[in-house]
Amino acid sequence: MNLPLVSPIPPPDQELLLKSCLFNDDLLKKAFYAWKNLVNFETDIYHHSFRQLPLLYFNLSKNGIDDPLMLRLKGIYRKSWSKNQLLFHKAAKIIKLLQDNEIPVIVIKGIALSILVYKNVAVRPMADIDILVPVSKAEAAFGLLNQSHWISIDPANDDYYLKNGKSLTMTDEDDTELDLHWYPFFECFDLMNENDFWDQAVPVVISGVKTLALCPADELLLTVVHGLMPNVEPPIRWIPDSMVILTSTDLTIDWTRFLDYAKKFHVVIQIIEGLKYLKETFNAPIPTHIYSEILQLKPSLTDKMVYKYGKRQGVFVYHPSHEKLAFLYTDFLKHHPTKNIFHRYVGFLKYMRNRIKGKPVFRIMIYYLSFFIKQNSRKWSGKLIAK
Amino acid sequence: MELSEKLKVNTPNVVHETIDGEAILLDLNTGNYFSLDGLGAVVWEFIDKHGNWVKALEIMKSANVGQEKSVTEVVTNFVEQLCAEKLLVPLNDESRDDISQEIASQLAAVAHSFASLRINKYSDMQDLLLLDPIHEVDEKGWPESRDITETESPEKE
């Protein structure tokens, strides 16, 4: 199957910016001045680059670089620090509310990375608060937050997302965004045991409130999977986030767990692509034997389907038929891993019959056919052109 | 205002960080943002680490012989304002009296600029957070807006 993978490689200007954020001494100077020559600071700094500027300031300052941009970069750092502090403060209140109602909380992404990995409040700007609660407590957590004036941004589909999603986005009266997750990433949907991710969670304190964060291996997996998610514009932040996890001397990555989870949740393509890029471009300190093992991984059909269709955007019914079928086929493969082609196709028909109980069989066949044509049209058109 | 000799940062309501010689402070309850430059940042760090602002005053007076009265007035006023803003609160434990030579020397080295001791206060965080820190700020960077008439000017205290 020839799936077009979204490249995790940022364009040259962003790569230089990231090197300026992560490298030291001469390598930093070389990257920073090359970046400055390539971009116009007044006009060329868009969202994803902008979010790296506090880290750029921090790294330039640490390396004693003096530059006319420093004062404005320092201002960006101050703003990020202030905004993040306010988000931490709000997050602490949410965590306390949930804990008081016997709902444990793991902080993920920005808050966890800032405290445990970057150990700096400013360098990783956050747009929202991301928390994880146990799958079995998702509905209760959502209800509690609702009572505390956190409102879902898509209330008509709350029930749908609670049953079929990985998270819900809520906002408060100040328009602060909260992502309430019960799966760290969508690929875990239905594959996660209750204890997964929770069993190795590590303690963390947010604005005086004790809670949990993912262990380094799980946070790295989440960062890479999220970063490598199909996107029009890849969110380059996964690169510094991963690099800082990998280079932190006080964090120990359980690589066995990392690889086991990558296989279990069918995110093998993401980790191959992601870690290969980090190793080749940023000389990421991945143990040699682990890196060799990663490069030798052979993504299965399920891994490929999950990579392309594992994360669905929005509500299922609004997707075109061929995508719906791809989502269902991916779900089927996740739960019925088999290499036998006959079992894959016949099993899928049986699976579909169970999924759409009472609906006419010809409808399944139409979906199936449209999916098959869509998947193979590129191959057929290529052959026709070749002829 | 009667000032306690020993003070501490009003945590967890107040968060602070010193970056490149500037202390930035945020009151999480009010959203008020403060900045202390140069000497102000050193005095803030001295109080945060050692809790005794009177000792900071003594070091500054020793570094400004002949101007003790002015130094006392300026420093007392500065600390009073920090307390009035509830950034500092009385410290009751006795544990932080030891003064490191490093911070004492640092304070003595910049004590001559006591006349510049001041607090920059920015009180509308919601507006400040909307400010584009690349295009809408002056050469000092956020939160100093480029056109002072468009956003609230800092209250120099």
Is A311 a domain residue? no
- Shared-domain flag, residues A289 and A184: yes
3-state helix, strand and coil shares in percent for chain B, rounded to the nearest 5: 40, 20, 40
CA distances (Å), B123 to each of B9, B72, B146, B151, in order?
19, 28, 17, 11
Say how many domains are in chain B: 1
- Shared-domain flag, residues A142 and A193: yes
Paired residues of B8 in beta bridges: B89
- Beta-carbon separation of B141 and A72 below 8 A: yes
Is B131 a domain residue? no
Question: Which of B134, B139, B143 is opposite residue A78, by nearest beta carbon?
Answer: B143
CB contacts of B139 in chain A (<8 Å) are 71-72
Is A2 a domain residue? no
- Beta-carbon separation of B24 and A82 below 8 A: yes
- Shared-domain flag, residues A379 and A245: no
- Shared-domain flag, residues A349 and A214: no
- Shared-domain flag, residues A249 and A345: no
- Shared-domain flag, residues A24 and A97: yes
* E-state strands within chain A: 106-107, 128-132, 151-152, 167-171, 177-181, 202-206, 209-213
- Beta-carbon separation of B133 and A75 below 8 A: yes
Query: Which of A250, A277, A302 represents a domain boundary (last residue)?
Result: A302
- Shared-domain flag, residues A341 and A284: no
- Beta-carbon separation of A78 and B24 below 8 A: yes
Domain extent, residue A137, equals 12-302
Q: What is the pLDDT at residue B97? A: 64
- Shared-domain flag, residues A63 and A97: yes
Is B18 a domain residue? yes
Which residues 67-126 of B are in CB contact (within 8 Å) with A? 125-126
The secondary structure of residue A116, as a DSSP letter, is I
CA distances (Å), A334 to each of A12, A165, A191, A289, A311, in order?
37, 16, 8, 28, 13
Residue range A129-184, pLDDT digits in tens: 999 999 999 999 999 999 999 999 999 889 888 988 899 999 999 999 999 999 99
What interface predicted TM-score (ipTM) does this complex get? 0.89
- Shared-domain flag, residues A369 and A333: yes
Cα B110 from Cα A143, distance rounded (Å): 55
CA distance B61 to chain A (A): 32
- Beta-carbon separation of A89 and B20 below 8 A: no
Is A323 a domain residue? yes
Chain A residues at the B interface, defined by Cβ less than 8 Å, are 41-42, 45, 50, 61, 71-79, 81-83, 85-86, 89, 121-122, 174, 207-208
Is B153 a domain residue? no
Is B91 a domain residue? yes
Is B134 a domain residue? no
Q: DSSP string of A297-333?
A: ----HHHHHHHHHSS--S-GGGS-HHHHHHHHHHHHH
Which one of A82, A88, A115, A207 makes the best mutation probe of the B interface by having the most chain B beta carbons within 10 Å? A82
Is B48 a domain residue? yes
Domain extent, residue B98, equals 7-123
- Shared-domain flag, residues A347 and A251: no
Is A6 a domain residue? no
Residue range A326-369, pLDDT digits in tens: 777 777 777 777 777 777 777 777 777 666 655 666 666 676 67
Question: Which of A42, A76, A208 is opposite residue B133, by nearest beta carbon?
Answer: A76
**At A158, which CATH number?**
3.30.460.40
Is A80 a domain residue? yes
3-state helix, strand and coil shares in percent for chain A, rounded to the nearest 5: 60, 5, 35
Is B146 a domain residue? no
Say how many domains are in chain A: 2
Residues A18, A240 contacting (CB under 8 angstroms)? yes
- Shared-domain flag, residues A372 and A281: no
CA distances (Å), B24 to each of A52, A249, B87, B104, in order?
20, 28, 11, 21
Question: Which of A75, A85, A207 is opposite residue B142, by nearest beta carbon?
Answer: A75
Taking CA atoms, what residue in B is nearest to A78? B142
- Shared-domain flag, residues A353 and A280: no
pLDDT tens for the 157 residues of chain B, in order: 678 889 999 999 999 999 999 999 999 999 999 999 999 999 999 999 999 999 999 999 999 999 999 999 999 999 999 999 999 999 887 666 677 888 889 999 999 999 999 999 999 888 888 888 998 888 889 998 886 454 444 554 4
pLDDT band at A316 (very low <50, low <70, confident <90, very high): low
Is A97 a domain residue? yes
Is B73 a domain residue? yes
Is A310 a domain residue? no
